[in-house]
Amino acid sequence: MYRVCFVCTGNICRSPMAEAVFRAQVREAGLDGLVEVSSAGTGSWHLGEDADPRTAAVLGTAGYPLHHTARLFEPDWFEQHDLVVALDEGHAAELRSMARSTAEAAKVRLLRSYDPDADPDRLSVPDPYFGGSRGFAECLAMVEAAAPGLLSEVDAALEAREAG
């Protein structure tokens, strides 16, 4: 099993959106059962809550199912995950500071780094929480643009495991 965890601040907007989109792509690629997709937050403000209603609405409109309860990323989760995908540079820095080894820190990647058209100087997905529905739609577009590149990397890693 290859495990990917998406991480944002409160685990109610960006990371559950990335989780839902990537889970759908994993299913469409026939990798269900080989790839486990989850999400978490760096802060505990929303633990146990559902995703933000605006996240649920934009995902529902786009046809992505969402079943979500906010969780907090714990440092020992590095051992359980192959990739820890941060939604912005602040999350990436916080996750790397939680890592107990360089190998764990190397598991942290920025989601938009998988988007070949993303500006390499602007790899953060902006937090839509304090804005309107347009910010959530823009967030979804960024997630959808990066997901195929991430899926390609995960698929290559699975093939390498199988060959090795």
Active site residue 14: yes
Structural domain count of the chain: 1
- Read off the tokens for 116: 């070949």
Residue 164 clears pLDDT 90, i.e. is over it = no
Taking CA atoms, 105 is separated from 37, 114, 129, in Å, by 19, 18, 27
From 50, 82, 127, 155, the catalytic residue: 127
What tens digit of pLDDT does each residue of 1-50 get? 999 999 999 999 999 999 999 999 999 999 999 999 999 999 999 999 99
What tens digit of pLDDT does each residue of 64-106 get? 999 999 999 999 999 999 999 999 999 999 999 999 999 999 9
Residue 127: give the domain boundaries: 2-163
Query: Residue 19 is part of a domain; what is its CATH number?
Result: 3.40.50.2300
pLDDT at 27: 97
Q: What is the rounded end-to-end Cα distance, in angstroms, of the chain?
A: 15
From 8, 13, 54, 109, the catalytic residue: 8
Active site residue 13: no
Which residues, 6+ apart, have CB-to-CB distance to 149 below 8 Å?
A: 114, 115, 116
What tens digit of pLDDT does each residue of 19-33 get? 999 999 999 999 999
Active site residue 54: no
